[in-house]
Amino acid sequence: MSGITANHAHAPQWKRLSEAAILELDPEKLLERIVVTRSAIHDRLEDGFSKPSDREQLALGDALEILSILRTVAEREISEQRRTGT
């Protein structure tokens, strides 16, 4: 576990944002984090100065897929909360 936190400071911004989104429990805030994170990922993919490695491109794609799933879950939770009034 210490290896994860030790490398966290050096992780790319898109990865730190992805981790924050994954850990977000509030569905409203999660949707906001997803928007910001997707933007950072797309910026990284379109970065003209340093093309992502194949490994990073796979990680970026995986992150986008996870964010898509999280968005679906958050939208369902928000819908359920509005339906039940909780």
CA atoms within 13 A on the CB side of 50: 4
Q: What is the pLDDT of residue 48?
A: 74
- State the pTM of this model: 0.84
Q: Is the pLDDT of residue 23 over 70?
A: yes
Q: What is the pLDDT of residue 85?
A: 85
Give residue-wise pLDDT tens across range 7-19. Answer: 567 889 999 999 9
Give residue-wise pLDDT tens across range 51-80. Answer: 889 999 999 999 999 999 999 999 999 999
Rounded-to-integer distance, Cα 86 and Cα 77, Å: 10
